[in-house]
Amino acid sequence: MNRWGWPRVAAGRLRHGWRPVLEATLAATVAWVLATRLVGHPEPFFAPAAALIVLGQARGQRLRRAVEVVLGVAGGVLVADLVVQALGPGSTWTVFTVILLTVTLAAAVGATGVSLVQAAVSALYLVVIAPPTESLVPFRFVDALIGGAVALAASQLVDARRPLAPLVAEVRSTFDELAGVLAGIADALDRHDEPAAVAALQQARGMDARVNRLRDGVLAAGEALWLNLRRRRHIGRLRSVDSSIRQIDYAVRNVRVLARAGVTLSRLPAPAPADLGVALRSLAEAVRSAGEALAADLEGRDEIADGHAARADEAALAAVRTAGGLFTPGRTLPLVMIIGQVRATAIDLLRGVAVDDDAAVLGRVDQSLGLPPV
């Protein structure tokens, strides 16, 4: 990368991601102001801290999940405060107990990764830097509630203004990852690389979690739409995507079986046919186009959605046609299994973007494969 490459990349990231930066800054500042003016706490550290933690966790989540995060953060602060008051600050036993209880509570409400670390750091702050005073008023707990409430309000306001945006992003991310799995399998088979094939299989096994997040995203978007009377007309789009997710779930399962057969094929002494990689990359392109079709449909861009759906149809049929050309006598069982899964994935993918009715999709896919009509 040249010396101007990184600044351009950074500028591009800020251009597309300035909203979360502004939202986090405003939420933390508002939480600080409310805690100092309403509660009168001179050092309300946990108000802006809780706002930042909750906003990071609650954005795009269902309302119930977001409330659980707020209560988890505030409850963790309260538990840590009480333990420090009971056992005294600074001791090893206090540090152990506070971190254990705080992180356990955070995990119980579903926090992971960065949020768990933030919870532990907040607990350490209570133990080491700012142990509680003798006051019976749980200022820090109140501060955390204020910060969490501000973050919750901010996240819901953002979702109410653009209720489908988190779901659109999740759709694109899920389909891009599934396409990446197929491309990874193709690369592994082209190189006759067993470790790479195993890595692609592991990635395919993780796609179930992405599908579950898609389902949660549909529910969260539905709640956001019901909170916004003017946008309830978009509920129909959600129903369409919800029915598509069922077919995408089938496609994910097909790709997982395909990846498993790819590992077996990579272990055989003979390399895979070159056209197999071509077919898998065509199928990956179909997956990407299908994701863009669903995203455009959610955004109400019908003509663009139709264009992406047509490209998904073309790429999927090309994948089936190329794979079908490899279906000749004497082929190994793993290769035959991959050809079958290319067909099954194409069918579920095209049904998911509603290119045609089920019977018509099945007929066109089988015709591309060279099978006689039913």
Burial label, 133 (beta-carbon count in 10 A; 0-12, 13-18, 19+): exposed
Whether residues 83 and 189 fall in one domain: no
Candidate ranges 106-110, 193-197, 347-351; pick with highest mean pLDDT:
193-197
In angstroms, the CA 132 to CA 121 distance is 16
Boundary (domain end) residue, out of 160, 193, 228: 160
* Pairwise CA distance, residues 218 & 168, whole Å: 10
Q: Are residues 44 and 150 in the same domain?
A: yes
Does residue 293 share a domain with residue 185? yes
pLDDT tens-digit readout, 294-328: 888 887 788 898 899 899 999 999 999 999 888 88
What are 220-267's pLDDT values in tens digits? 776 666 555 445 455 556 666 777 788 888 999 999 999 999 999 999
Residue in the structure block whose two tokens are 């933030």: 118
Q: Which of 7-21, 40-54, 205-219, 270-284 has the lowest mean pLDDT?
A: 7-21
| 40-46 contacts, C-beta under 8 A, 24 or more apart | 41/139, 41/142, 41/143, 43/130, 44/139, 44/143, 44/146, 45/125, 45/130, 45/140, 45/143, 46/77, 46/122, 46/140, 46/143, 46/144, 46/147
Claim to verify: residue 155 and residue 234 sit in the same structural domain:
no
Question: Could you say which of 160, 193, 226 is where a domain stops?
Answer: 160
The DSSP annotation for 187-206 comes to HHHHHT-HHHHHHHHHHHHT
Q: What does DSSP assign to residue 231? A: G
Check if the beta carbon of residue 250 is closer than 8 Å to that of residue 343.
Answer: no
Question: Which residues contact residue 185 at a Cβ distance below 8 angstroms, ignoring those fewer than 6 apart?
Answer: 197, 200, 258, 259, 262, 280
* CATH code of 236's domain: 1.20.58.220
Span 35-42, mean pLDDT? Answer: 80
374 occurs within a structural domain = no
Q: Are residues 237 and 349 in the same domain?
A: yes
Question: Residues 28, 12: contact at Cβ < 8 Å?
Answer: no
Instruction: Read off the pLDDT of residues 143-163 as tens digits, 9 standing for 90 and up.
Output: 888 888 888 777 766 655 666
318 shares a domain with 250? yes
Residue that has been written with the tokens 């946008």 in this structure: 231
Encoded tokens for 344: 């099954």
Q: How confident is the model at residue 197 (pLDDT cuts 50, 70, 90)?
A: very high
Does residue 227 sit within a domain?
A: yes
Q: What is the pLDDT of residue 38?
A: 80
User: What is the residue type of 230?
Assistant: R
Strand (E) or helix (H) holding 209: helix 207-227
Q: Is 32 exposed, middle or buried (0-12, 13-18, 19+ CB in 10 A)?
A: buried
- Measured CA distances, 335 to 110, 154, 266, 275, 330 (Å): 41, 52, 10, 12, 10
Phi and psi torsions of 60, nearest 5°: 80, 5
Number of domains in the chain: 2
Residue 341 burial (10 A CB sphere; 0-12, 13-18, 19+)? buried
Please indicate, yes or no, whether residues 123 and 191 belong to a single structural domain of this protein.
Answer: no
- The reported pLDDT for the residue numbered 261 is 94
173 shares a domain with 125: no
Question: Of 141, 160, 179, which marks where a domain is finished?
Answer: 160
Q: Classify residue 5: in a domain, yes or no.
A: no
Q: Same structural domain for residues 132 and 247?
A: no
DSSP secondary structure letter of residue 125: I
User: What is the Cα–Cα distance from 73 to 289, expressed in whole angstroms?
Assistant: 40
Closest CA to 180 of 194, 196, 200: 200
pTM for the predicted model, two decimal places: 0.64
Residue 251 covered by a domain: yes
| 3 pLDDT more than 70 | no
Question: What SS3 class is residue 13?
Answer: helix
Within a domain: residue 74? Answer: yes
Closest by CA position to 182, among listed 81, 277, 106, 45: 277
pLDDT at residue 79 tops 60: yes
Side chain identity at 153, as an amino acid letter? A
| 2, containing H or E segment | none
**Tokens 């006759």, residue?**
192
Is 9 within a domain? no
pLDDT value, residue 229: 43
Together in a domain, 222 and 155: no
- 63-87 and 46-58 helices, crossing angle to 10°: 150
DSSP 373: P
Residue range(s) defining the domain that contains residue 36? 19-160
Confidence of residue 130 (pLDDT cuts 50, 70, 90): low
